[in-house]
Copies of this chain bind each other. A is one copy, B any other.
Amino acid sequence: MITIKDIASEAGVSVSTVSRVINNRPDVSEVARNKVLEVAHKLNYIPNESARDLAGTQSDSIGLIMRGIGNPFFSEMFGVIEQSMKKTKYSLAINQISSTANEIQAGAELARAKRLSGLIFMGGNFAYTPEMISVLDIPFVCCTYSNKFGDLSPEIFSSVSIDDEAEAYRAVNALIDYGHKDIAILLADTEDQSISELRYRGYCRALKERGIKINPNLVQKTTNFNLAEAYQATIHLINKEQEFTAVFAISDILAMAAIKALHNSGYQVPGDVSVIGIDGLNISEFIIPTLTSLIQPKLEIGRRTVELLLDIIEQKSSNQQIVLETELRLGESIRSI
């Protein structure tokens, strides 16, 4: 194991100077700098991150607390974030937590155990209170969701996401514009304060504004973002024998399962039933019929999340809530009636 001491003696300078060179600090002469770099390269030196983290005021690690990798949307988002982080000096420490676990607690523990510089939360809950986040004494950004139900003031938290309520509203309006009135909704999560709840609110608002009564029989819940369960939930919806001509699935993963269930039950999509989703999974463009969906700008969400977090860490920016827009991709899964 090559250490800065080895480099120091080999290059004929002190460990302090080596450390300064490695960390790209200004107060070093060109001669010393070049000599150190040359020796470091020759000896194939790799800094020991543990020692760095321990000695430094903070580590160069960012924690990612993920919930529900079951939904491929988050796998895709993970890839994007990982990619964005690659361009920085920071590395990612990932912690996947169960849907029931307390993510704030998990984040706080990871942060202290690994001396993280910052945290990214993905796929979480919405209801944070100031007391809850007070245990987090480092910068954090919520990715793909905001704090619509909590009572946090905008100054004390950051997020990068779409406006779930507004986008759902837009999706349902698209269906209504196509002439649909009997629109079922396929929800996930049993928790009240979830992304599902927000999108449900958008559904309700759209129907109300267009003078359509909400029919509880057309509100179908599934426990999570899982193909098999969503399939069963759709079968259940069909078995209610309540007429509907369209399904708004609050996620592409649910939408794809719904299309399959409808198809297996003898319904044509979009002939008999139109289906629209939200999220924009890569695969949803390649199924038959192509899924109509509101595509989240995954690349930009990931990029902006990393950017914002780093700016906050480096005190170039303060907390803010960034809201991005989806793009409506018209696929083959809906038609007008």
A112 cross-chain contacts in B, Cβ below 8 A: 1, 46, 48
A50 cross-chain contacts in B, Cβ below 8 A: 49-54, 59, 114-115
Cα-based distance from A99 to B46 in the complex (angstroms): 23
Does A257 belong to the interface (CB within 8 Å)?
yes
A53 cross-chain contacts in B, Cβ below 8 A: 50
Does A13 belong to the interface (CB within 8 Å)?
no
Selected from B78, B91, B260, B283, the residue in CB contact (under 8 A) with A256 is: B283
Does A185 belong to the interface (CB within 8 Å)?
no
The reply to whether B283 and A109 form a contact with Cβ atoms under 8 Å apart is no
Instruction: Report the nearest B residue to A256, measured CB to CB.
Output: B286
Copies in the complex: 2
Most chain B beta-carbon neighbours within 10 Å: one of A70, A76, A283: A283
Cα-based distance from A282 to B260 in the complex (angstroms): 13
* A residues 64-78 in Cβ contact with B at 8 Å: 69-70, 72, 75-76, 78
A93 cross-chain contacts in B, Cβ below 8 A: 91, 93
Cα-based distance from A69 to B260 in the complex (angstroms): 26
A residues contacting B by CB (< 8 A) are: 1, 46-54, 59, 69-70, 72, 75-76, 78-79, 82-83, 86, 91-94, 96, 109, 112-115, 227, 231, 256-257, 259-260, 263, 282-283, 285-288
* Given pairs A50-B54, A75-B79, A260-B286, 8 additional interface contacts (CB within 8 A): A48-B115, A49-B115, A51-B54, A69-B78, A82-B96, A92-B94, A94-B94, A227-B285
